[in-house]
Amino acid sequence: MVETNENTQKETVREYIEAEGEDRSFEELGLDARLVRALLKKRIEKPTPIQHVAIPLILEGKDVVARAKTGSGKTLAYLLPLLQKLFTANPDRKKLAPNVFILAPSRELCQQIYVEVKSLLELCRVQLKVVQLNSNMLATDLKAALVGPPDVLISTPACIAKCLSDSILQAASISGSLETLVLDEADLLLSYGYENDIKALTPHIPRSCQCLLMSATSSADVDKLKKLILHNPFILTLPEVGNRKDDVIPKNVQQFSISCPAADKLLYILAMLKLELVQKKVLIFTNTIDMSFRLKLFLEKFGIKSAVLNAELPQNSRLHILEEFNAGLFDYLIATDISQSKEKEEAPKENNVGSRKSRKHAKLKLDSEFGVVRGIDFKNVYTVINFEMPHNVAGYVHRIGRTGRAYSSGASISLVSSDEMDTFEDIRSFVGDDENNGSNSISEFPLLTKNAVESLRYRAEDVAKSITKIAVRESRAQDLRNEILNSEKLKAHFESNPRDLDLLKHDKVLSKSAPPTHLRDVPDYLIDKTTKEARAMVKLTRDAMGNNNRRRLSKRKAKKGGDPLMAISAGVSKRPHKAFKKAGASNGNSRDRQTHKKTEDAF
Nearest to 263 by CA among 61, 419, 106: 419
Backbone angles phi, psi at 278, to 5 degrees: -125, 155
Q: Is 96 exposed, middle or buried (0-12, 13-18, 19+ CB in 10 A)?
A: middle
Residue 102 binding ligand ATP, by CB under 6 A:
no
Q: Does 565 bind ligand ATP (CB under 6 A)?
A: no
Find the binder of ligand ATP among 4, 9, 70, 315 (CB under 6 A): 70
Name the phi and psi angles at 4, rounded to 5: -80, 125
Between 50 and 501, CB nearer to ligand ATP: 50
Cα separation, 311 vs 373, in Å, equals 10
Pick 338 or 381: Cβ nearer ligand ATP: 381
73 binds ligand ATP (CB under 6 A): yes
Residue 377 interacts with ligand ATP (CB under 6 A)?
A: yes
Q: Measured from the CB atom, is 75 or 599 closer to ligand ATP?
A: 75
Site for ligand ATP contains 107 (CB under 6 A): no
Closest approach, Cβ 39 to ligand ATP, in A, equals 7
Stretch that binds ligand ATP, among 71-79, 118-126, 127-135, 198-206 (CB under 6 A): 71-79
Q: Does 300 bind ligand ATP (CB under 6 A)?
A: no
Sheet hosting strand 64-67, strand order edge to edge: 130-132, 152-155, 100-103, 180-183, 210-215, 64-67, 234-237
Sequence-separated (6 or more) residues with CB below 8 Å from residue 469:
290
Q: Report the first-to-last Cα separation within the chain, whole angstroms.
A: 52
Q: Does 252 bind ligand ATP (CB under 6 A)?
A: no
For the segment 398-437, give every residue that binds ligand ATP (CB under 6 A): 401, 405-407
Nearest to 292 by CA among 468, 513, 419, 472: 472
Cβ closest to ligand ATP, residue 106 vs residue 443: 106
| Cα separation, 266 vs 457, whole angstroms | 10
Residue placing its CB nearer to ligand ATP in the complex, 123 or 258: 123
Asked if 44 is part of the footprint of ligand ATP (rule: CB under 6 A), the reply reads yes
Of the pair 274, 405, the CB lying nearest ligand ATP is at 405
Among 74, 162, 274, 596, the residue binding ligand ATP under the rule CB under 6 A is: 74
Helix pair angle (564-571, 547-560), 10° resolution = 150
Q: Is residue 229 within 8 Å of 199, Cβ to Cβ? A: no
In this structure, are residues 531 and 452 in contact, taking their beta carbons and an 8 Å threshold?
A: yes
Q: Is 250 in the site for ligand ATP (CB under 6 A)?
A: no
Residues near 239 by beta carbon (within 8 Å), at least 6 away in sequence: 14, 17
Is 494 among the residues that bind ligand ATP (CB under 6 A)? Answer: no
Q: Applying CB under 6 A, which part among 46-54, 327-335, 350-358, 538-546 lies near ligand ATP?
A: 46-54
- The nearer residue to ligand ATP, 550 or 596, going by C-beta atoms, is 550
Q: Give yes or no for residue 216 binding ligand ATP (CB under 6 A).
A: yes
- Interface with ligand ATP includes 47 (CB under 6 A)? yes
Asked if 292 touches ligand ATP (CB under 6 A), the answer is: no
- Residue 29 interacting with ligand ATP (CB under 6 A): no
| Per CB under 6 A, 381 contacts ligand ATP | no
- Regarding 210 and contact with ligand ATP (CB under 6 A), the answer is no
CB of 119 to ligand ATP, least distance (A): 10
**Beta carbon nearer to ligand ATP, 369 or 592:** 369
SS3 183: strand
Return d(Cα 1, Cα 12) in angstroms, integer.
Answer: 21
Helices and strands in the chain, H and E counts? 26, 14
Q: Min. distance of Cβ 400 from ligand ATP in angstroms?
A: 10
Burial class (CB in 10 A: 0-12, 13-18, 19+), 418: exposed
**Which of these segments, 45-53, 231-239, 287-295, 555-563, binds ligand ATP (CB under 6 A)?**
45-53
Question: Does residue 354 interact with ligand ATP by CB under 6 A?
Answer: no
DSSP 5-67: -HHHHHHHHHHHHHHH-S---TTTTT--HHHHHHHHHTT--S--HHHHHHHHHHHTT--EEEE
- Our CB check for ligand ATP shows the closer of 116 and 500 to be 116
Q: Tell me how far apart the 2 most distant CA atoms of the chain are, in Å.
A: 75
Q: Does 51 bind ligand ATP (CB under 6 A)?
A: yes
Cα torsion 304, 307, 312, 315 to 10°: value is 170
Is residue 349 within the footprint of ligand ATP (CB under 6 A)?
no
Which parts of 427-556 are beta strand (E)? 442-444
Residue 72 near ligand ATP by CB under 6 A: yes
Listed ranges 29-37, 73-81, 248-256, 491-499: which one lies at the site for ligand ATP (CB under 6 A): 73-81
User: Where on the chain is the footprint of ligand ATP (CB under 6 A)?
Assistant: 44, 46-48, 51, 68, 70-76, 216, 375, 377, 401, 405-407
